[in-house]
Amino acid sequence: MASTDAELLIQETSSYLKPDDIDNIKAALEFSTTAHLGQTRQSGEPYVSHPIAVARILTTLHLDAQAIVAALLHDVLEDTNTRTEAISDAFGKPVADMVEGLSKLDKLKFETQEDAQAENFRKMLMAMARDVRVILIKLADRLHNMRTLEAVQQQKSVRIARETMEIYAPIANRLGLNTIFQELQDLSFKFLHPNRYAVLTKAIKFARGNRREVVGKILDAIRARLAESEINAEAKGREKHLYGIYKKMQAKHLAFSQVLDIYGFRVLVDDIPSCYLALGALHSLYKPLPGKFKDYIAIPKANGYQSLHTTLFGPFGTPIEIQIRTHEMNKIAEAGLASHWLYKTAETPINELHQKTHQWLQTLLESLSQSGDSVEFLEHLKIDLFPDEVYVFSPKGKIFALPRGATAVDFAYSVHTDIGNRCVAVKVNFELVPLRTELQNGDRVEITTAPHAHPNPVWLNFVVTSRARSEIRHALKTMHLEESAKLGERLLSQALSSLGFKLQDIPDSCWERLVNETSAKSRQEILADIGLGRRLNMVIAKQLARVGDISQQESGNNATITIQGTEGMAIQFAKCCRPIPGDPIIGLIKSGQGLIIHTHDCPSLRKGRSNAEEWLDVVWDKNISKLFDVNIKLIVANQRGVLAKVAASIAEAESNIENVHFSSEGEYTALYFTLQVSNRLHLANIMRNLRKITEVVRITRVKSIPV
């Protein structure tokens, strides 16, 4: 079989490549055959049959000789003793780089399968950013593996099918490789849901015979109407792919018999004006369904796809889906990026589709560089490959393609990172809306920014694009680092003061020596680690004194830390006791979390109080304007309107209600409130006002509220 396939490969490449290129491909065939000699696939075939099959898939995309050679050699580094230098010497560095980019990281050990998978994708995408042909070869490799997956054990085949459905098929779609995308989806469906696949395949085969006459009549009517309108066009019927039908049945909760449009129709014309003329002609033949028209010619998809889509009322009440496009658009729709493959050289400009692909890759690589966790990056990638898109407009009319479900914050980050980080409000179609608002096709989006604004951690709960998610996390991490470093500086200053000298007295040379000794990257990292509780302030203070040869004088001046309430993420207020200004407080340094403020009598602090180095003396600042959460419990008589009276009394005392819930206790009800107060005096005023309500039986401050 391999020899026959090899002959077919030479025939197929000879139809569009030069004789010198064919000689190179023959040499690669011989190299691959020798390298894989004696190896077999799980199906029992000679292993070399696989790289030949992959290369043949690429000939359908008319890829260049270097890509065909790399496909023939794509497994030799991984599965044989061949070295990269040997490939480079024989076929050139570009081919060697592609083969290396395609090789997995099997020689490295990973804790989990997910880590290994994520690292493989990181490596593949970095190689893909240098040369897009890497991903085209990888997709062809995955397609052939899926075609021959029956030979693999079920557990492994399900894992491979799921990976294909979640990653490889969406990448093919993102690059506009429609034929490969649909086949990958159908094959993944076959192994993920074999019973559903078998039933649906049988139903479609049966329906194909029943509907052939109807399809023929519709095609004849379409061709006749286009001819009457003097439009030079080619019309053909097409059966929708299996997984597409299954998804439609799932989304609309339909039985197969209710899916009337398993057939679609495609009209190919000579130029763009003819597309719109054909649309008008067909709308006069059958009535269009309202809201079922999409113009992807005026607004192309991100993968370069262009076409007019319309759904018409056909004969017998059957809905007819029709796509109208030019022959050139059809090539792009079938083969996407590879349809007009033009390998980049100094003389050849990159076309628009290549530019869009390059921009997408750069966004992925930014996400990769900001993601310390490989699995987190893989999640970013899956989100970014979300297939459905919405198209929105900036105030200047620029079109932005975003995943379906994208919010105003996603849009802000797609414009520019600074716009996202500084956004405070948004207008959609000239109306103010919340930042979490999901955008719809055609929305006009205007972002309002403020110079000192910064991302809110809550945004991570609703953004959908990987760029927004990674930029928000990066900004929050930077903010956290800066705030932790400021807190660390205060804590270190306190420790140094107790040793008898000041922070500003420490020369830069001492810091440099300490940074080298501790293997830290910078002074800021050491300070941030102190603020986060990863290093003890007294230990660092003594190390600084030692490396600077500064005499230590225990002054006994154990300075306290002043709490202002505006320190940000570096200082947290314990939810177990919810301290407010006026409460006696104590600070607990907790590794990775920073300084946690508790009340002196907090029940959760009774254990572990002996480790004095973890505790800090803290006091409230005299001028605090921030509001703090506090919990109170009211026992009230069950009478009409009592909740309204309580809420009004709280409002009169100039407090906000953050949360409220209640539980019945016979004739009485327990009301639990989380209020915002400025200090203990403010809380006392609120409680005094509440006691004046006749229905209030008892009122107490509680440390936590039961859920």
Query: 483, 449 in Cβ contact below 8 A?
Result: no
d(CA 110, CA 106): 9
CB 502, CB 562: distance < 8 Å: no
Q: What are phi and psi of 611, to 5 degrees?
A: -75, 90
Task: Please give the C-alpha separations between residue 235 and each of 230, 328, 331, 595, in angstroms, as whole numbers.
Answer: 14, 15, 15, 71
Q: How far apart are the first and last CA of the chain?
A: 68
Q: CB–CB of 259/245 below 8 Å?
A: yes
Would you list the DSSP string of 50-97? HHHHHHHHHHTTT--HHHHHHHHTTTHHHHSS--HHHHHHHH-HHHHH
Residues 264, 270, 274, CA angle at the centre, nearest 5°? 75
Give the number of other Cβ atoms within 10 Å of residue 67's Cβ: 27
The DSSP element (H or E) to which 586 belongs, if any, is strand 585-590
Of 597, 478, 589, give the one whose Cα is nearest residue 539: 589
Q: Which of 79, 115, 166, 379 is catalytic?
A: 79
In angstroms, the CA 247 to CA 332 distance is: 24
Residues 138 and 58: beta-carbon distance below 8 Å:
no
> What six digits make up the tokens of 496?
């140094």
> Rounded to 5 degrees, what are φ and ψ at 404?
-60, 135
Active-site residue (options: 5, 78, 270, 614): 78
CA 698 vs CA 206, 655, 688, 692: distances in Å: 75, 20, 11, 11
CA distance 474 to 352: 30
Does the active-site annotation cover 89? no
Contact 13, 6 (CB under 8 A): no
512 is catalytic: no
Active site residue ranges = 78-79
